[in-house]
Amino acid sequence: MKRRTLATLILAAWVGALGWLAERHYLGTEGGDSASRWPVPPGAAFHAIRFGDRQYGIGSLTVDTLPDGLRVTELLTIGLPPIQAGTPRRTTYRVQALYTRGLHLIRWQSDLLSEHGRASGTGTLSGDSLLTVVTLPQGERGETLTVRPRRPVILPSAIPLVAASRGLPRPGSKLNLEIYDPLHHELRTERLVVAAESVFTVPDSAEYSATFRRWRVVHSDTVRAWRLDATVHGLPVSRWVDGSGMIVRTDYALGARLERSAFEIVNTNFRALPPAPWDTSPAAPRYLLGDDQPAARSHLAVVGHLAPGLPLPPTVPSLGGGWQERSGDTLRIARTAAVDTLPDPTAQAEPLLTPDTAIAQTAARILHGEHRPELMSRRLTDWVRRTITLRGSPSRSSAGRVLATRQGTRQERVTLLVALARAAGLEARPVWGLVPVGGRWELRPWAEIRAGTWSPADPEMAGTGGLAGRVRLATGGEARLLDLALEAGRLRLEILEEMQ
């Protein structure tokens, strides 16, 4: 009896010690104060960015507990088609954010590195009412933006953490989050729906194979995850999130996906891969935002087959409306269309488009009393094309700065055009998608202005010729190469009919 009692006491002490250790490690508590607990445990997850069976990039999310809060670091590296043959080209994006124990954003720092150079940014939240963002492009003067969120705000990388911190979700549950996207410089409300629950087998350790000269899986773990569905810039995104707030898999509408795996498999194997075999057929879009001008066509009608062999969600808001209609995997693009859509209702604030006196005065001077929407759109578009000099830069400036400096990137010229149109009382939005250039489909940004229906307005082209010969992929946001590679990786468009 004494031995049994002693064994019971030892076992109880061991279980109690394990419970204390787990509570201290995962919840960060010393005296059982629930206010001091961590919302999610510290940890790291590594992801392979794939288009089909080929890996084109790497990603990671790291959560660290600090004395003053929770640090969340997101890192993405995307391989892109080379500008010169045989020269690898990659874009890297890193953002590090600090949150309170309640997952309220305190500050962040972002860094984007591309062939155009480096662009950095910082953000600080004062209470819950004022967000101050400073953009720091390399070799240029910084710019300060201010935003007033309506509720506590987080960055996109913290979406799965917040979902997990609120308990194990049930299918059908809904969650509305205020998101500030430092890559696009926009504040939006993201409406998430817990659509499903499933179990995944995820590699969690690897060993090096001298025979195949690469790392291979030696052990996998079973992970329970919940699917969070949302629509961002008119494109559906599905995130599979586990109970600790880590992404297991992310599925994008147009073919790309992120898959969690072991560090060595995700990183070391990717860096040892030869250059990616990019599709050079006319049906494949280019990721090079080059200097070629779209061919001038008028009254062009196109019937296109979208992404053959790739099933698309039944609802993709950005692919329909205005001059573009979708039926299954077929798109019809013409001068007019019967169906129309309003701007994305989730967009709340776009600091880069904030109107000012100079923009309003410039719009009035350009229009000179014109009130017909179609002519107003044409005058504003032609003025931006003639007046704003095209430049290359990894950063993105506000419409006010582009107007003051008289120069901007393709995306910045679109930003200014949208701001001018809104200042003139027109509904306008930035979009991006495919434009036929030199016999190939090229990914580019442009604007859409409502003149009875949504109509394209492109500062790259004079007049309205050829505006129907383009395919809208996303509404809002920015056509950065990073997003284009993620969201349009396996997109294929074939012309079935072309009428002049």
What digits encode the pLDDT tens for the residues 40-50?
A: 899 999 999 98
Please state the length of the chain. 500
pLDDT-derived band at 451, boundaries 50, 70, 90: confident
The DSSP secondary structure of 226-283, one letter per residue, reads: EEEEEEETTEEEEEEEETTS-EEEEEETTSEEEEEE-HIIIIIHHHTSPPP----STT
What pLDDT, on the 0 to 100 scale, is given for residue 288? 57
Q: What does DSSP say about strands 428-437 and 143-147: parallel, antiparallel, or unpaired?
A: unpaired
Across 299-439, the runs of DSSP E, i.e. the strands, are 301-306, 324-327, 330-333, 347-349, 389-390, 407-408, 428-437
For residues 67 and 109, give the distance between their C-alpha atoms in angstroms, rounded to a whole number: 19
For residues 39 and 452, give the distance between their C-alpha atoms in angstroms, rounded to a whole number: 49
Q: Which residues pair with 407 in a beta bridge?
A: 389
| Weakest-pLDDT range from 22-36, 80-94, 100-114, 356-370 | 22-36
Compare 10 and 229 and report the one with higher pLDDT.
229
User: What does pLDDT average to over the chain?
Assistant: 81
Print burial letters for 467-492: b (CB count within 10 Å at least 16), e (below 16).
bbbbbbbbbbbbbbbbbbbbbbbbbb
Q: Which residues pair with 446 in a beta bridge?
A: 431
Cβ neighbours for 233, distance < 8 A, ≥ 6 positions apart: 318, 344, 474, 475, 476, 477
pLDDT beyond 70 at 490: no
Range 434-463 average pLDDT: 81
First CA to last CA distance, the chain: 97
Contact 437, 293 (CB under 8 A): yes
For residues 432 and 409, give the distance between their C-alpha atoms in angstroms, rounded to a whole number: 14
Cβ neighbours for 66, distance < 8 A, ≥ 6 positions apart: 98
- Whose structure tokens read 């025979």? 211
How confident is the model over 190-229, as pLDDT tens digits? 999 999 999 999 998 889 888 888 888 889 999 999 999 9
What pLDDT, on the 0 to 100 scale, is given for residue 468? 55
Range 305-322 average pLDDT: 74
What pLDDT, on the 0 to 100 scale, is given for residue 106? 93
What pLDDT, on the 0 to 100 scale, is given for residue 167? 78
Range 396-418 average pLDDT: 90
pLDDT beyond 80 at 342: no
What pLDDT, on the 0 to 100 scale, is given for residue 488? 65
Burial class of 171 by CB neighbour count within 10 A (0 to 12, 13 to 18, 19+): exposed
Type of residue numbered 347 = A
For residues 236 and 254, give the distance between their C-alpha atoms in angstroms, rounded to a whole number: 9
pLDDT beyond 70 at 404: yes
Q: How far is CA 93 from CA 96, 327, 338, 481, in A?
A: 10, 35, 40, 11
pLDDT beyond 60 at 476: yes
Compare 2 and 313 and report the one with higher pLDDT.
313
pLDDT-derived band at 61, boundaries 50, 70, 90: very high
Across 363-410, the runs of DSSP E, i.e. the strands, are 389-390, 407-408
Compare 226 and 442 and report the one with higher pLDDT.
226
How confident is the model over 237-262, as pLDDT tens digits? 999 999 999 999 998 887 788 999 99
3-state DSSP helix/strand/coil percent for the chain, to nearest 5? 20, 45, 35
- Whose structure tokens read 């969120």? 149
pLDDT beyond 50 at 186: yes
Other CB atoms closer than 10 Å to residue 131's CB: what's the count?
21
Compare 28 and 152 and report the one with higher pLDDT.
152
For residues 403 and 408, give the distance between their C-alpha atoms in angstroms, rounded to a whole number: 9
Determine the 3-state secondary structure of 22 from DSSP. helix
Tokens of 239: 């995130």
Tokens of 464: 């309205």
Burial class of 73 by CB neighbour count within 10 A (0 to 12, 13 to 18, 19+): middle
Type of residue numbered 85 = A
pLDDT beyond 50 at 377: yes
Range 297-316 average pLDDT: 67
pLDDT beyond 50 at 346: no
pLDDT beyond 50 at 56: yes
Type of residue numbered 192 = L
Nearest one of 197, 248, 201 to 222, comparing CA atoms: 201
pLDDT-derived band at 338, boundaries 50, 70, 90: very low
Output DSSP code: residue 317: G
Nearest one of 406, 408, 399, 471 to 441, comparing CA atoms: 471
| Weakest-pLDDT range from 43-47, 153-157, 315-319, 366-370 | 315-319
Among residues of the chain, what percentage have pLDDT more than 70?
79
Burial class of 297 by CB neighbour count within 10 A (0 to 12, 13 to 18, 19+): middle
Range 23-35 average pLDDT: 43
Determine the 3-state secondary structure of 339 from DSSP. coil
| Weakest-pLDDT range from 259-263, 351-355, 465-469 | 465-469
Range 449-475 average pLDDT: 75
Domain 285-499 has CATH 3.10.620.30: yes
For residues 497 and 500, give the distance between their C-alpha atoms in angstroms, rounded to a whole number: 10
Nearest one of 410, 413, 422 to 381, comparing CA atoms: 413
| Weakest-pLDDT range from 165-169, 401-405, 430-434 | 165-169
Q: Which residues pair with 447 in a beta bridge?
A: 430, 457
Write out 123-139 in H/E/C secondary structure: EEEECCCEEEEEEEECC
pLDDT-derived band at 27, boundaries 50, 70, 90: very low
What pLDDT, on the 0 to 100 scale, is given for residue 178? 92
Compare 389 and 151 and report the one with higher pLDDT.
389
